[in-house]
Amino acid sequence: KPEYKVTLLGAGGVGKSALTLRIISGQFTPSYNPTIEDYYRHDTNVEGVGQCIVEILDTAGTEQFASMRQLYINSGDAFALVYAIDNLDSFLEVKEIYQQLVEMKKPEELLVILVGNKCDLKSKRTVSTQEGIQAATQMKKCPFLETSAKDGTNVEEFFNTLVAAVDKKARGD
């Protein structure tokens, strides 16, 4: 059974833990300790991949220190860059994180998906879908999805897309 390492990166409060817990448990966990960094072994069946183990690293807080982020980047196979659609700063932050990824990974090794979370908060939106699409285009045309850990929109799609991409790469494209 293949094993893949997927790492969620992004500003505090964007919903990394909520997305992770939605993937693991299928439920929305509204309050989760923001300082907890956790690591899950998720034994699952991914569409187009089959049975596999996905190690999900839900990072917390410490990624603001560049050295800590380096550790995550070195050990990860694929990365979800998560911002929240109601938080412009978090959108700027994923662009910075992407720059660090580019500096540390060879282009052919870099697997990224851009995720605009909290898409249920329509009336509070400050980052448009078009801006998300544009950013993903600049990130070497990486996949882009708007998700909601709260109502479940696109969460499975996001996870499947990322795991399928890692699987494809592991099999030599």
Please give the residues from 128 up to 157 whose contact with ligand GDP meets the rule CB under 6 A.
148-150
| Distance separating alpha carbons of residues 39 and 51, to the nearest angstrom | 19
Phi–psi pair at 160, nearest 5 degrees? -60, -40
Q: Cβ closer to Mg ion: 17 or 117?
A: 17
Out of 24, 60, 68, 121, which residue is the one contacting Mg ion (CB under 5 A)?
60
The CB-of-1 to ligand GDP minimum distance in angstroms stands at: 28
Partner in contact with 76, chosen from ligand GDP, Mg ion, none, beta carbon below 5 to 8 Å by kind: none
| Distance separating alpha carbons of residues 104 and 62, to the nearest angstrom | 18
Q: Which residue is nearest to ligand GDP (CB)?
A: 15
Q: Please give the single-letter amino acid code of residue 39.
A: Y
Phi–psi pair at 63, nearest 5 degrees? -70, -10
Out of 16, 85, 101, 113, which residue is the one contacting ligand GDP (CB under 6 A)?
16
Instruction: Tokens for 146, please give them.
Output: 């708007």
Phi–psi pair at 104, nearest 5 degrees? -100, -25
9 in helix, strand or coil? strand
Q: Does 24 sit near Mg ion (CB under 5 A)?
A: no
Q: Cβ closer to ligand GDP: 81 or 111?
A: 81
Out of 2, 5, 32, 95, which residue is the one contacting ligand GDP (CB under 6 A)?
32
Q: In the beta sheet, which residues pair with residue 63? A: none
By the criterion CB under 6 A, which residues form the site for ligand GDP? 12-18, 30-32, 34, 117-118, 120-121, 148-150
